[in-house]
Amino acid sequence: MTRKDYNRIAAILGTAFMEMDNEIPVTTILVRLRHDIADMLQDDNPRFDRNRFIDAVSDARLGRL
């Protein structure tokens, strides 16, 4: 990972924390966080399988990984 990656991750997390401070529902924040990370990974690698990543996050949440 590069410094740019760390900065992008920090920005994504910072936005999520700011939304928590603004009392946005946690479920909404987590869905956005999942999609923002998928966006970042897809920007980095055009062959990144966004749907597979989102499914894997859902599977992990349900304890299926």
Residue 65 has pLDDT above 70, yes or no: no
Handedness of CA 11, 26, 39, 65 (dihedral sign): positive
| Amino acid 58: pLDDT | 87
The structure's pTM equals 0.82
- Joined together, the tokens standing for residue 51 give 């749907």
- Please, which residues have CB within 8 angstroms of residue 54's CB and are 6 or more apart in sequence? 34, 35, 38
Q: HEC profile for 7-19?
A: HHHHHHHHHHHHH
CA distance 29 to 1: 25
Q: pLDDT digits over 22-61, tens only?
A: 889 999 999 999 999 999 999 999 999 999 999 999 888 8
The domain ranges of the chain are: 3-61
Residue 64 has pLDDT above 80, yes or no: no
| Amino acid 61: pLDDT | 80
